[in-house]
Amino acid sequence: MNKFFKIILVSFVGLWSAPAFSGDLSPLITPSELASMTKNPLILDIRAKGFQLGHIEGAVAAPYNLFRGPVENPGQVPPIMQLEAVYEASGLEQSSAIVIVSHGDDDTDFGAAARVYWTLKSSGFTELSVLNGGLLAWTNAGLPLSTVVIAPKPTQLDITWNNTWSVSVDEITQMVSGDIPGKLIDARTPAFFVGEKAHKAAARPGTLPKAQNLPYTEFFNSGTAVLKHSIDDVSLKSTLGIKAGDAVVSFCNTGHWAATDWFAMSEVAGIANVKLYPGSMVEYSKTDGKMKNQPSIIRNLFNKLTGKS
């Protein structure tokens, strides 16, 4: 198994253990809040590249692709034993306080951090936070980076998956048919929702029947990659028609943008019973299930020829 490395500004290389943490992390943390913490959480750097060129002091490298499925179904949750191996190699303990750091170069990048947060929460980790704005916000705040690597001390875990915050394709099919109640929320941009565009791994364009469109972009401060720290749950529930006891399911193409909607609704707004459909439309479009806004064959061909799909 590949090892993942942690870098700190010290003059030697050695083994490092994740710190225990007794405080409560909020789901979102600003660079200044993180920098001023007296007890250092584990910093999980999920960027695909650039880690050795500079990162937050004490960070562990665990690229986002380690938390994703195969090319044909990127949103699929990896086998739990595979995730467990990633956690162990990264030095994670379920008592660890973990701050997840993505690049922060645009708003779509936030979905990576939100998806990893959701995966860790579903794996039994409870002290979790996302650095709002990612590493770019950290450097823009004038805070330092490190380039010294040490190896995390491997841990031994026994992970079980908690389905509280997820739904399967079978459950989605039952929601579509009306056998299971629930609000279906499409986190994609309108072009995908109306069937003008489709993910390259999807079998069909369109969306789920009964779905409402709530683009993930709605949750960011205008023109930035910074998620809103305050979201009006009353207004949001009114807009979506969410009543007490409703299951609210966020989906997109591959469970990436949908993770932002899930995070914003569940962790920031505090709406109960919000779930993520990880496989999303790439997975569902390969079933024989009903679709909404699915264009005709001719229209779909036109969309592809004109670059819309």
**pLDDT tens-digit profile of 93-151?**
999 999 999 999 999 999 999 999 999 999 999 999 999 999 999 999 999 999 988 78
- pLDDT band per the 50, 70, 90 thresholds, residue 11: very low
Amino acid letter, 153 = K
Token pair belonging to 170? 């079978």
DSSP 13-42: ---B-PPB--S---SEE-HHHHHT-SSPPE
In the predicted structure, residue 8 carries a pLDDT above the cut 80: no
Opening angle at CA 180, ends 195 and 117, nearest 5: 70
User: Which of 30-39, 53-62, 189-198, 296-305 is predicted least confidently?
Assistant: 296-305
**Could you give the domains of the chain?**
6-160 (3.40.250.10), 164-305 (3.40.250.10)
Computed over every residue of the chain, the mean pLDDT equals 90
CB atoms within 10 A of CB 39: 10
User: Where do we find the tokens 């195969």?
Assistant: 70
Share of the chain residues as helix, strand and coil, in percent rounded to the nearest 5: 30, 15, 55
In the predicted structure, residue 2 carries a pLDDT above the cut 60: no
DSSP 89-157: HTT--TTBEEEEE---SSGGGHHHHHHHHHHHHHTT--EEEEETTHHHHHHHTT---B--EEPBPP---
What percent of the chain is modeled with pLDDT above 90? Answer: 83
What tens digit of pLDDT does each residue of 58-84 get? Answer: 999 999 999 999 999 999 999 999 999
In the predicted structure, residue 301 carries a pLDDT above the cut 60: no
Q: Is the pTM of this model over 0.85?
A: yes
- pLDDT band per the 50, 70, 90 thresholds, residue 308: low
Mean of pLDDT values over 265-292: 97
How many residues comprise the chain? 309
DSSP 295: P
Token pair belonging to 260? 């932002």
12 vs 298, higher pLDDT: 298
